[in-house]
Chains A and B, each alone.
Chain A
Amino acid sequence: MTQTHSVILKIENITKLHGQFKALNTISLEINRAEIFGLLGPNGAGKSTLLSILAGASKPSSGFAWLDGMEIQPNNLKLRARIGLVPQDFAFYEDLTAKENLLFFGQLFGMQGQVLTNKVNEILEIIGLDDEKAHQYSKYFSGGMKRRLNLGIALVHSPDILMLDEPTVGVDPQSRNRIFEAIKIINAMGTTVIYTTHYMEEAESLCNRIAILNHGEIIACDTLQNLLSLTQTTINFSIHENDQTKSGILQNKLPELKSEPLQGSYSLTSHKNSTPDIINLLVNEKIQIINLHLDSPNLEKVFLSLTGRHLRD
């Protein structure tokens, strides 16, 4: 019971065909209430397609999705008030000011009067658009400000679940931070977030759980920790040339050790030996280390190990 209670969005066997092309292939996912769920995948993986189905903007070819037990369907108008979708492309009126855009969409969700005004001011605060910017035509905004407004509009009706489709494409670091802050604030207030991106750093820094999407299929879905544990840390080190005669000893003690092309350089990827073990071994054998660095696991490596290709090619 507790488990079903914590699931806000349930996706079951969703497939989406574009003609013969399978943009999504039997996707099944569960998204928990109030978490930030990451959907990571390269361009063309099917992220936007999935979000559009989850937002009720399009129909899957087969399969279902439920929001709190209600089936998500394009003609279900009631569900729309609970979902906030931040589309990948800018979707606001450039000849309206930021504030007018927010007010307009708020009105379409049936909001009005002081409630609406307060909400709009709150959102302007969250997305970091000051009063001056709020009254500027949005066509004069920088890319970063446009991204923030694009996000703000999806927040105006206080959705239960916020879906963001690559909301940081083409923004400056300052705006990106702003957007991250905003997402964290919204999430802290209890909103579930689905965050779509092809930047693994973003997923790593923001998301509790992450699904990796490739060619329309979920190839992994877990907490960040568990995903990272799919790969190991690689230890790279080089030893002094005088100690190179002792390489035999090293090879003996560490059978998985690999010699690198540069003489005296080695790398080791292993579950069995942790970094302190290796340092101890080298010190005991009086081998002088001139260089040591660790290659920690990241999602890029996870993706590489799962698919055999890089996330961004």
Chain B
Amino acid sequence: MQSFIIAKKELTLLIRDKLTATVLFVLPFAMILILGLLLGEGFGQKTDDLMRISVLNLDKGFGLNNKPWAQHAIEDMVSTPNIKVEIIQNKELAEQLVKTGKRAAVIIFNPDFSDRVNECSFLSTGVNPFHRDGIYLEKLQVSIVKDNKQPATSAIIESVCQIALLRIVMPWMIGKAFEKLGDPEFIELLGKEVSLPIPPSLRLLIPKDKIPLGELLELASGKDVVLAKNYREKVGAGIQTALTGQFKNYNLTGKSWASLTRSVNNSETVNTLTTFKNEDGTGILKRGAIRYQILVPSFTVMFTFSLILISGWIFVAEKRQGTFNRLLSTPVSTPNILLGKFLPTIIISLFQIFFLLGLGKVLLGLKIGLPSWTLSDWMIALIILPLATSFCVASFSLLIGLLSKNETQLALFSSVPVCLFALIGGCIFPWEMMPDNAKTLAFLTPQGWALEAFREIMPSSFDTTTDFQLIWKSTLVLTSMGFILISITWITLGRIRFGNS
């Protein structure tokens, strides 16, 4: 009861102190907002080992196996290790992404792409897409929009595109050409072009030095038209067989890179095909930007723990002003007085958490929870976890406030839990930006545990499940840390003499 009277007084004082209220509520939100607007889209995301290729597919035709050639090209890139392909939905978006520098380049397969590939042939009548350095993109109706400010990245993207196209077009053209080998017209052509020398012993029969292959076949068939055709086909098949035998490692009729090269796909099939998602938010506040999913929990945890400094400050000021001695001269026991200082910290901390999450949700489009959550899931996320966090904060505040004799000591003592732990705990630089073993260190701090759990309840776009076990674990750790701190406070209390004693 008396603790509540003291708690109420503490809250009144805190609310009347405008500066403190600002620091507690406005400052963290302002920092979230400022960083949210300043930081790029990639903030806090795992620095990718994968090269991202953005593709706009407008292809209307069909190619091998009745599949658009663009589709073949995209699949080719997807199955390339270290490359992930992102599908851009439309041309305006593609141009905008490049113009704003968010993408270095976007590959566009224009509507006629498949038709053009189909026309590619080594025959003089077909389209020849090759030049010395690769493929004429424009001949295949492929275009690349590039950001001039990112020449290196767009050059890499272009060569990835070149390679993919080569691997599509080459087998296709070789396959078609190889088929041509069996064509009677081809053999006829061959028969005219290739002349064989006649050995002297046969010169009596054929009074020539050389004879074209075609004539020879005609001779052999004895002017039988059907038989002659038959022979020609045999020659064609013979050439094909011979070549097949010669290039045992290749399936010359495969028409695709994989079958041409008889390669087995041994790269792990990871799904590296995604569609472009706007993770940069909309409007001036960048509502819904993915980085808020990291910024909000980080700053919420960091500023909640900064209560250690503020509560401690009020406590120390009270001790120095003599009001604490006056409290000690009332019939309220010391543990009750301390409880009266402990409760407001919990309340303010809870309030701060709800304030930041609420404002984040309303103003910044922060995503909290998943559609699959049950009522008890929501309770764990929004009541139990914040309570455990606040409990830990309040315990820390009490101990530091009790141990500090003056403001200087307080600043010194609290710099460890407020600043250092926030840094180690990942509140300032997300774990994704830190070395791998940094996260191990983070779990030595309450902030690390709190942040891990709070990030779990504010899922990033890839999360489809929530690890409630992790949230429970964090809750348990935070509560235990709180109890340990309270025990230390209790032991300290027995040794501390207040006032002028």
Q: Which residues of A contact B (CB under 8 A)?
A: 48-49, 52, 55-59, 74, 77-78, 80-81, 83, 85, 87, 89-93, 95-96, 100, 104-105, 107-110, 153
Contacts and interface: CB of A to CB of B under 8 A. Distances in A.
Contacts of A77: 331-333
B331 A87 contact: no
B321 A89 contact: yes
B57 to A, nearest CB: 66
B327 A108 contact: yes
Residue among A55, A91, A100 with max Cβ neighbours from chain B (10 Å)? A91
A83 B329 CA distance: 8
Nearest to B499: A57
Given A52-B501, A59-B501, A108-B5, A96 B326 contact: no
Contact of A55 (B329, B331, B497): B329
B499 A85 contact: no
B493 to A, nearest CB: 12
A74 B330 CA distance: 11
Given A58-B499, A59-B501, A74-B501, A109 B331 contact: yes
Contacts of A96: 9, 12-13
Contacts of B13: 93, 95-96
B328 interface: yes
Contacts of B499: 52, 57-58
Contacts of B328: 57
Closest 9 CB pairs of A and B: A58-B501, A91-B322, A108-B330, A91-B326, A77-B331, A89-B322, A80-B331, A95-B16, A107-B5
A6 B499 CA distance: 32
Interface residues of B, number: 24
B433 to A, nearest CB: 42
B54 to A, nearest CB: 58
A77 B499 CA distance: 17
B12 A87 contact: no
Contacts of A91: 321-323, 325-326
Contacts of A52: 499-501
Given A77-B331, A108-B331, A90 B322 contact: yes
11 contacts: A57-B499, A58-B499, A58-B501, A77-B331, A85-B326, A87-B325, A90-B321, A90-B322, A91-B321, A108-B330, A109-B331
B436 interface: no
B407 to A, nearest CB: 16
Contacts of A87: 322, 325-326
Residue among A92, A93, A108, A110 with max Cβ neighbours from chain B (10 Å)? A108
Q: Is the interface of A mostly helix, strand, loop or mixed?
A: loop
Contacts of B321: 89-91
B332 to A, nearest CB: 5
B6 to A, nearest CB: 8
Residue among B16, B327, B328, B331 with max Cβ neighbours from chain A (10 Å)? B331
Q: Is the interface of B mostly helix, strand, loop or mixed?
A: helix
B133 interface: no
Interface string B11-29: 0110011000000000000
B2 A108 contact: yes
A106 to B, nearest CB: 10
A83 B9 CA distance: 23
Nearest to B2: A108
Contacts of B497: 58
A48 B329 CA distance: 15
A104 B332 CA distance: 12
A153 B5 contact: no
Contact of B329 (A57, A89, A110): A57
Nearest to B6: A108
Contacts of A49: 500
A87 B13 CA distance: 22
Nearest to A85: B329
Nearest to A82: B331
B325 to A, nearest CB: 6
Contacts of B329: 55-57, 80, 83, 85
Interface in B1-59: 2, 5-6, 9, 12-13, 16-17
A127 to B, nearest CB: 16
A95 B2 contact: no
A195 to B, nearest CB: 18
B415 to A, nearest CB: 26
Given A52-B501, A95-B16, A95-B17, A109 B322 contact: no
A48 B500 contact: yes
Contact of B323 (A81, A83, A92, A107): A92
A91 B325 CA distance: 8
Contacts of B322: 87, 89-91
A105 B500 contact: no
Given A96-B9, A96-B13, A108-B2, 18 more contacts: A48-B500, A57-B499, A57-B500, A58-B500, A77-B331, A80-B330, A87-B322, A87-B326, A90-B321, A90-B322, A91-B325, A91-B326, A93-B323, A95-B13, A96-B12, A107-B5, A108-B5, A108-B332
Contacts of A89: 321-322
Residue among A49, A59, A93 with max Cβ neighbours from chain B (10 Å)? A93
